[in-house]
Structures are given as C-alpha cells and as structure tokens.
A and B are shown apart, each in its own frame.
Chain A
Amino acid sequence: MAQFEETGPRTPVNEPTRVDKVHPRAKLGKSIRVILIVIMTFIMLFPVIVMVMTAFKTRVDIITPPPKVLFRPSLEGFLYLLTDRALLTPANLAAAQANPGSLSFWQKLALANGQQITGVSHYVARLKNSVIIAGSSTILSVILGLFAAYAFSRFKIAGKDDLLFFILSTRMLPGVVVTIPLFLLYKLLGWNDTYAGMIILYTVFNLSFSVWLLKGFIDEIPVEYEEAALVDGYTRLQAFFRIVLPQAVNGIAATTVFCLIFAWNEYAFALMLTSDNARTAPPSIATMLGSGGLEWSAIAAGSLGFLIPVVIVTFVLRDYLLRGVTFGAVRK
C-alpha cells in the first residue's frame, strides 16, 4: 500500500517559476528592478535618516547651514530629552571643572554647556504613560475583539451583518471630528487626564479594527475542527482555547501589532484630553523647548527612542505578521 503514497508534501515554491520570470534574460530586468527599489526605499526613508542623524548632532551642527552630512556624533540630544538641567554659577562651575573624576558621563556632558543635571525630565514619566496606556488598551482590544470576533464568526446572531457594518462604520469617521464632544464628555465624567480615560478611549477606537481583522482570521479556521472536538466531548470554551486559539495566533499577532501602532502613535486625543498626569509621549516630544526655541536634537532623540519599541515588536513578530497579513488563501 505504501507504494502509492504521495512522495510527501512538496516544499512550497514562493516565487513563480513561469517562463518569462525565470528566463536567463529576465535576470537583468530583475537587477534593474532591485536597484530601483533600493533608490525608492532610500527616498522614502530619507526623513527617518535625517531624524536619526539629528538625534546625534550637537545644537550647533543642527542650526548652522548648510546641513552637515558628516559630523561628530554627540549624545546631547538625549541629555536634553531625559534630564532637567540648571545653569551653574561660576563658582560651582569652576569647582566642577577642577574635579572631573567624580563626574559621570552625563554630568560631564552637561558641564560642557555650563549646566548641571538637576533631575530626570518629565519626558520619562510621559514615556511610562505611553507604555501603560498603549499596552493596556492593546491587550484589552485584542482580548475583547477576539471573543467578539469568535461570536460573530461562529454563532447565529440576529442582525449580524448590520452589527458588523455598524462596527466597521465607526472607522469611517476621522477621529478629530469627535474630539470636542469627547472633551466635554470627559470633563463631565471627570475622566480628563486620567489613565482610565485614555485606555478606554484607545480600546474603543481599536475594537472595531480588531473585531473585523480577527473575524477574518477566525473565519479561515474550519469549523470542522471545533465540531470534531465537540463530538469528542469538549465544551465550546475548551474547544476555543485548545483549537481555535493556537491556530489564530498569526491573526492575533497581526492585530496586536496594528492596535499597538495606533495607540502608541496617537497624538490628537492625547494632546486634547491630557495635560500632565496622563500625558503620553507624542504630544510631549513635539513641544520640547530649549533656550533658543525648539530643541531639535531632543525632539529627534525623542522620536527615535519612541520609534524603536514598535520596530522591535514588529520585527520580533514578523513571521506571524507575514502569515497573518496574507490570510485569505484559496481553499477548494
């Protein structure tokens, strides 16, 4: 009987091997396309590259025209971002300069500008707020979205299509339109400038997206799997945790990343609905003031630092993301 077994599943081919794609002359076309892509990538990433360079430039280098491509890197920007400083009196300045050994790297850096570190800047607290608010709202919207998506996918619900459309329609609204009513509402409820207020807001905004995305993924998981489990003696909930969840991991990862990106980068509501206590990083970064106007190096440093966590998360989850984003594979 083993004679007629298929010789195992073939390794799937990711690139098409059609004649015109694999032709010896096609290789040249491919190289040209690759070069074009590299150029386009460079153009699109240009602002990011400038930002990264600015984060490591000294104030002087930033302001003097023409902009410098080659420069001596400095961590000044991060200093301005993360610390509060005060001007040293001439006496203290002399004393500090006489005793360089006792100073840390950062203190030396501040000294170079005649300043002394007085403490951690409020930015750090804002960053912490961002983490808490974005993280919590992402977790909440994914979990709630998962259960709602499962219900929409598997159960008969009266008016299901209408409900789904209604959920989708909330995304058709630009968020800014509701800022004023929300502001007044929050004021009334006393939710202004609170963690809870912001978390609830971001969760609600992300929920529509997460329900739709997750429903798509769960629809792709054949119902037969759960039915087999039911017949075998499992309850629906057990079938959900043991069967649906492991297979929805790609979808959950993709949804998490998208929700996180929205909540993390959100600017308008954070600006309007928070002032000090629950203020997140984005509004803070844009308004960093220094002695001569906007502190560009701090802003760039802040942007860079803010960008990095999301990049890391996306990179770690990239396999899941890729599988998740290409859902909709053709089934018989």
Chain B
Amino acid sequence: MSHVELSHITKTYPGVTALDDISFDVKDGEFFVLLGPTGAGKTTTLRVIAGLEKQDKGSVLFDGKAVDNFNPSDRDVALVFQQYSLYPTMSVYDNLAFPLRSPLRHTSAEEIRKKVEETAEILHISHLLKRKTAHLSGGEMQRVSIGRAIVRSPRVFLMDEPLSNLDAKLREALRIELQHLQKTQGSTTLFVTHDQIEALTMADRIAVLNQGRILQVGTPEDIYDRPATTFIAQLVGSPRINLYKARREDGTISINASEVHVPASHGNNLPADFLVGIRPENIKPDLKGEFSGRLVLTEPLGVETILHIQSGQSEFIGLVPGITTYRIGDAMKFNVAFEHVHYFGLNGDRLQS
C-alpha cells in the first residue's frame, strides 16, 4: 500500500480550468474521500492520478517518488468506474482474472485461480463465477467491479462514484461492506462522490472540491462541525443547514426577517452584518419554546421528522425524533441551540465567534 501525494496539480482544457492548483495527500491505508458536486473536477483528479490524463502543472507522488512519467499500466493503481467496467463478452471469472492475465505480470494459471477464488469469497460472489456479466443485477455487477480492483492488490484504489448507480438500499449495504473491507485489508483508497452521506460515513478524511479547487481538508467531524465556508456547510449535513443573514446591534444578534434573536454575548467579535448557519438538529420544536412560527411542511423520515417552520419571513428547518403528530398549518414554538451555531462573513468564509 502507498502514500499518495498531489502537489500543485493544475489541468486545463480549452476554455475551462478543470483543476486549479490542487494539493493534498492520502496516508498509507487511509480511506480518503473527494467530495464535491458534479463538475467539480473529482473524476479528472482520479484520472490524473491513474495516468489516464496528463496534468499541465504539478506532480503526483507515490511514497515520495514522482510518477508523472509512468504509464497507467506502470503505476500499479486500480480504478473502479461508475459504470462500464465489466467486459460484457466475458464471464465473471474471466473479468476477475483479466487484470492478472496482463502480459506485465507473469502469473501462472494456478495462481490466478487462487486469487480469483479468494477475491470472490471476500465479496460473496463465488456463486456467480461462471455467469456472463450481462446476466447480473446492478449490485452484483458493482461487487464484481470492486473485485477486479482488489484482485491485483494494487498500491492504491481509485473509486469513481461506484455506488451512484445503485438503488438506495443497495448503496447502504455496500457502503458498510466497503468500509469493513477497507479497514480489514488496510488498503489506501481514494473515493470520489457527490453524496455527502457516503463521504461522512466512510471517510477517514475528506477533501471538499468545487470548480477545480480544494476548499477544505479534514476528518468528517472537522468538515461537519467546522465547515470553512457556507458552501461546505450547505454541502454536508442532511437536511441542509439553515442559513440566514443576521445583524448585530444593541447587544443582540437577530436573524433578519424573523423574531429569532440571541444575546450578543455569543458573538462579540462579529461584524455588524454576517451570516448565521443553524443545523436542523439545533432547531428544537418545544411547547415552551422561545420563538414561534407556523408549520408549513413535514417530512416524516421514520427515525426523525423534518419540520419546516415559517417564522416571520424566514423558514426554519428543524428536526424532531420519530414520526411527529404535528400537522401542516399548526402553530409552533421552538428553541435554538445557540452554542452550536455557525457564523460566516457575507463572503461565505467562516468567522470565529
């Protein structure tokens, strides 16, 4: 397994900068997630690491050595694509054996068989070895794709949104499997996704990417508890964080167009106008709540219910455990846990309070 480092990588296409001075590193054995919306440059980053694209500036290093001049085949990485990674004309066995049969690796047929069977065992696909890949379901196909990457024991696993095309329930199950697999095998993995739940649940560390730039690198807790910008605060966390314009005056912080306010002891070094971010779990409906509003929408998820409360001109999204008995149209009272509130400048950057 390897330590991977990207140092000041820039990649441009005619008319667009795909990657703009990207630097980060992935420690040996780490599960590192690159999170960002579609078009942020995540796939391009993976392709540069794999050698399928050549960067314009900067360098990729494995264990401290630059691999920029190496062909994809010599870098010893495995790439799991979002789709189209299984050869439809071959059986599952042949698909799994394909990487081992490459002329670069002189593996005997006996060794190949051993490795393929081992890998199939780990991924619970041993019963599918003889089938043609066209006759597999989506989840089975994805497990075979992961198997093809594992079977070579490469230095680095690169995964490009491998779970995106799967049913929601399958995604949940495979997430747990992948995490368990990575932890028990200790493989250095770079995983790319637009889904923040995948990032939070699986990553040791996350790098948030947008429009070719790295915005923040940190553990899931860092990213969730201390997002560096409003963009990151809104990207991570479900339901989305509530974001409001606020102002500080006369010893109180008030959220514009609503009655919500808090004594300014919570934020002495804030400018006069700024942005306040409140995560839904910190907005708590309460019969004796301090602030009032009207319930305009409920979304019962089962374990909790999302409540959309209209207070003044602003909408507050809060959470209650279980499935609520409140009904749309009800008058509501709620509290805000101000110790967990985030402050941002009007430009979106995080402020210390």
The answer to A–B direct touch (Cβ < 8 A) is yes
Select B99's contact among A225, A233, A243, beta carbons within 8 Å: A233
Cβ-defined contact, A227 with B139, below 8 A: no
Chain B residues whose C-beta falls within 8 Å of the C-beta of A8 in the assembled complex: 135, 137
Select B102's contact among A1, A9, A234, beta carbons within 8 Å: A234
How far is A232 from B145 in the complex, measured between Cα atoms in Å? 13
How far is A188 from B98 in the complex, measured between Cα atoms in Å? 54
How far is A256 from B332 in the complex, measured between Cα atoms in Å? 74
How far is A222 from B84 in the complex, measured between Cα atoms in Å? 7
How far is A233 from B79 in the complex, measured between Cα atoms in Å? 12
Select B73's contact among A224, A231, A243, beta carbons within 8 Å: A231
Specify the chain A residue showing the minimal Cβ separation from B135: A9
Cβ-defined contact, B104 with A243, below 8 A: no
Specify the chain A residue showing the minimal Cβ separation from B99: A232
Given contacts A5-B137, A6-B139, A224-B84, contact A231 B79 (CB under 8 A): yes
Given contacts A222-B84, A228-B81, contact A235 B139 (CB under 8 A): no
Q: B109 an interface residue at 8 Å Cβ cutoff? A: no
User: How far is the CB of B340 from the nearest CB of chain A, in Å?
Assistant: 35
Chain B interface residues (CB < 8 Å from chain A) = 50-52, 71-73, 75, 77-79, 81, 83-85, 87-89, 98-99, 102-105, 124, 134-140, 148, 152, 167, 169-170, 173, 177
Q: A246 an interface residue at 8 Å Cβ cutoff? A: yes
A-B contact pairs, 23 of them (CB 8 A): A1-B177, A4-B139, A5-B170, A6-B138, A6-B139, A6-B167, A9-B137, A224-B83, A224-B84, A227-B72, A227-B79, A229-B98, A230-B72, A230-B73, A231-B50, A231-B77, A232-B78, A232-B98, A234-B73, A234-B102, A234-B103, A235-B103, A247-B88
Specify the chain A residue showing the minimal Cβ separation from B102: A233
Specify the chain B residue showing the minimal Cβ separation from A223: B84
User: How far is the CB of A159 from the nearest CB of chain B, in Å?
Assistant: 16
Chain A residues whose C-beta falls within 8 Å of the C-beta of B137 in the assembled complex: 5-9
Chain A residues whose C-beta falls within 8 Å of the C-beta of B152 in the assembled complex: 232
How far is A246 from B135 in the complex, measured between Cα atoms in Å? 18
Specify the chain B residue showing the minimal Cβ separation from A7: B137
Chain B residues whose C-beta falls within 8 Å of the C-beta of A5 in the assembled complex: 137, 139-140, 170
Chain A residues whose C-beta falls within 8 Å of the C-beta of B85 in the assembled complex: 224-225, 228
A215-253 vs B, CB cutoff 8 Å, 1 = contact: the mask equals 000000010110111111111001000010011000000
Main secondary structure of the interface of A (DSSP, over half): helix
Cβ-defined contact, A230 with B71, below 8 A: yes
Cβ-defined contact, A1 with B50, below 8 A: no
Chain A residues whose C-beta falls within 8 Å of the C-beta of B99 in the assembled complex: 232-233
Cβ-defined contact, B169 with A4, below 8 A: yes
How far is A246 from B51 in the complex, measured between Cα atoms in Å? 26
Chain B residues whose C-beta falls within 8 Å of the C-beta of A1 in the assembled complex: 124, 139, 170, 173, 177
Cβ-defined contact, A233 with B87, below 8 A: no
How far is A44 from B341 in the complex, measured between Cα atoms in Å? 80
Beyond A4-B139, A224-B83, A231-B77, list 16 extra A-B contacts (CB 8 Å): A1-B139, A1-B173, A4-B167, A8-B137, A9-B135, A9-B137, A227-B72, A228-B79, A231-B51, A231-B75, A232-B78, A233-B105, A238-B102, A238-B103, A243-B87, A246-B87
Given contacts A224-B81, A228-B81, contact A233 B135 (CB under 8 A): no
User: How far is the CB of B316 from the nearest CB of chain A, in Å?
Assistant: 35
Chain A residues whose C-beta falls within 8 Å of the C-beta of B102 in the assembled complex: 229, 232-234, 238
User: How far is the CB of B39 from the nearest CB of chain A, in Å?
Assistant: 16
User: How far is the CB of B21 from the nearest CB of chain A, in Å?
Assistant: 25
How far is A243 from B95 in the complex, measured between Cα atoms in Å? 11
Cβ-defined contact, A235 with B73, below 8 A: yes
Select A231's contact among B72, B84, B139, beta carbons within 8 Å: B72
Chain A residues whose C-beta falls within 8 Å of the C-beta of B138 in the assembled complex: 6
User: How far is the CB of A252 from the nearest CB of chain B, in Å?
Assistant: 14
Chain A residues whose C-beta falls within 8 Å of the C-beta of B77 in the assembled complex: 231
Cβ-defined contact, A227 with B52, below 8 A: yes
How far is A235 from B104 in the complex, measured between Cα atoms in Å? 9
Chain A residues whose C-beta falls within 8 Å of the C-beta of B89 in the assembled complex: 246-247
How far is A222 from B85 in the complex, measured between Cα atoms in Å? 9
The 4 closest A-B pairs by CB, nearest first: A233-B102, A233-B104, A232-B99, A222-B84
Specify the chain A residue showing the minimal Cβ separation from B105: A233
How far is A233 from B51 in the complex, measured between Cα atoms in Å? 12
